Amino acid sequence: MSRPRKIWRVGWRLGVGVVLLGWIFHAIFVNEGRLALRRQGLDWDRLGRAQQWSAAWSHGPRELWATLNLVGPMAFAVSVVWMGATVALGVIRWRMVLAVQGLNLPLSRATEISLVAQFFNSFLLGSSGGDLMKAYYAARETHHKKAEAVVTVLVDRLLGLFAMLLFAGVMMGFNRSLLAQQARLGALAAVILAMLAGCALVVGLAFWGGLSRCWPGARQRLRRLPKGELLERALESCRQFGRRPGFLLKVLGISMVLNGACVLQILTLARGLGLGMSGWALLLIVPAIICIAALPITPSGLGVRENLYVLLLAAPPIGVEPTKALSLSLLAYAGSLLWSLVGGVVYLTFKETHHLAEVSRPETVAEELEGP
């Protein structure tokens, strides 16, 4: 990829994220500024636009900081532990995927690679930095299964998303009244169900195929494509997952536990902020937000996630204050960043020992994965 295209790809995502964050912060600060002036006996509507914005950005940040400080150290620490549990469960799931391809990565090595990937996913712009690192290190474990190693990363990501969508879909049944009362959540539920159907289709085609039966010449056309032989190997390695009895159920099982840990992280922070919302509502809202924020729109979902938390939690009948809804999102992201920092320490500590210095540039990783 040329340098101008890389700059454009990074730039537009960063720009969208900044705009979305600016929008939600400004909207919340305006609300806080209006409330602060009313408490002082002043009429917000009599002020000019410049004066309103000045009051918003004067009072808003202070109110947001005060709300963030409502969460005690213990509640935040417990939420960080839950976040760590999601990382650990993700390592276990990836090792299950690797084992199907005959890549038996030790637990310590898989943990190290996953933490480094967590670091790159959070601090590199774009959505594939961490996945490239995972694919590279899995490929380094063997010289004859590089395509299969890359497939394990893609399948792990695909099954994680599918399980999260399925989790959210099941929770819709327990939140029927909430969906009926909140139009915003109902619209989001429709998007989640559409994503679930699409993801299930991709999983079915990847694991069990079917297109070649409809188009007999599909395999021949695939071989004629650039890197067609590599693509065919990747497709065949996907079929291995469909041939392994019980594999999908086991992976979905561990993924459901992981999803529960994600919800418990948010629930812990919500209780720390004094939010009395229903845990059943969070069982639907949290995975739905995670799935939408996972779309490659902005770096690490910044802006998208914050807007969704405010949009869904602040609307009736949940009725969470916008400032607290934003604080909930920011605190959850802070917990994720702490584990990313752990990954950064691993990267700096072990980069010479495990040749991490060789792959500091994404293009180097891509060249290695293509192989001879």
Q: What is the pLDDT of residue 125?
A: 45
Percent over 90 (pLDDT), the chain = 36
Write the single-letter amino acid at 197: A
- Tally of structural domains, the chain: 2
How many Cα atoms sit within 13 Å of 344 on the Cβ side? 11
Q: Please give the span between the terminal C-alpha atoms of the chain, in angstroms, as a whole number.
A: 20
Measured CA distances, 93 to 159, 251, 259, 322 (Å): 9, 6, 12, 36
What token pair was written down for 63? 């109110």
Q: Do 33 and 59 form a contact (C-beta atoms < 8 A)?
A: yes
User: Which range is least confidently modeled, 79-93, 107-121, 207-221, 246-260?
Assistant: 207-221
Q: Which domain holds residue 52?
A: 1-69
Q: What is the pLDDT of residue 218?
A: 57
| Same domain (yes/no): 42, 136 | no
| Same domain (yes/no): 78, 54 | no
Residue tagged 């009926």 (tokens): 180
Q: What is the pLDDT of residue 285?
A: 94
| Same domain (yes/no): 213, 332 | yes
Give pTM, 2 decimals: 0.82
Whole-angstrom distance, CA of residue 107 vs CA of residue 112: 9
| Same domain (yes/no): 362, 344 | yes
Q: What is the pLDDT of residue 158?
A: 92
Whole-angstrom distance, CA of residue 269 vs CA of residue 71: 7
Q: What is the pLDDT of residue 71?
A: 92
Using the predicted structure, report yes or no on whether residue 369 has a pLDDT greater than 50: no
DSSP conformational letter for 295: S
| Same domain (yes/no): 260, 337 | yes
Q: What is the pLDDT of residue 194?
A: 96
Which residue, of 69, 101, 121, is where some domain finishes? 69
Phi and psi torsions of 215, nearest 5°:
-125, 90
pLDDT in tens, 19-38: 877 877 888 888 888 888 87
| Same domain (yes/no): 170, 151 | yes
pLDDT in tens, 342-365: 988 888 876 555 544 444 444 444
Which residue, of 18, 49, 69, is where some domain finishes? 69
Please, what is the average pLDDT of the chain?
Answer: 82
Q: What is the pLDDT of residue 359?
A: 43
| Same domain (yes/no): 203, 148 | yes
Residue tagged 């090792």 (tokens): 95
Q: Please compute the mean of the pLDDT values over residues 160-175 and round it to a whole number.
A: 95
| Same domain (yes/no): 188, 247 | yes
pLDDT in tens, 229-282: 666 777 788 888 999 889 999 999 999 999 999 999 999 999 999 998 888 999
Whole-angstrom distance, CA of residue 305 vs CA of residue 323: 14
DSSP conformational letter for 244: S
Closest by CA position to 241, among listed 217, 206, 282, 198: 206
| Same domain (yes/no): 135, 154 | yes
Binning pLDDT at 50, 70 and 90, where does residue 102 land?
Answer: confident
Q: What is the pLDDT of residue 29?
A: 84
Q: Do 98 and 138 form a contact (C-beta atoms < 8 A)?
A: yes
Residue tagged 């960043």 (tokens): 337
| Same domain (yes/no): 143, 241 | yes
Using the predicted structure, report yes or no on whether residue 74 has a pLDDT greater than 70: yes
Which residue, of 44, 69, 94, is where some domain finishes? 69
Measured CA distances, 331 to 72, 159, 258, 268 (Å): 12, 27, 19, 11
Q: What is the pLDDT of residue 266?
A: 96
| Same domain (yes/no): 123, 64 | no
Measured CA distances, 313 to 61, 184, 281, 325 (Å): 20, 10, 9, 6
- Measured over the CA atoms of residue 251, residue 252, residue 255 and residue 260, the dihedral's sign is negative
Q: What is the pLDDT of residue 365?
A: 46
| Same domain (yes/no): 61, 109 | no
Q: Please compute the mean of the pLDDT values over residues 138-159 and round it to a whole number.
A: 81
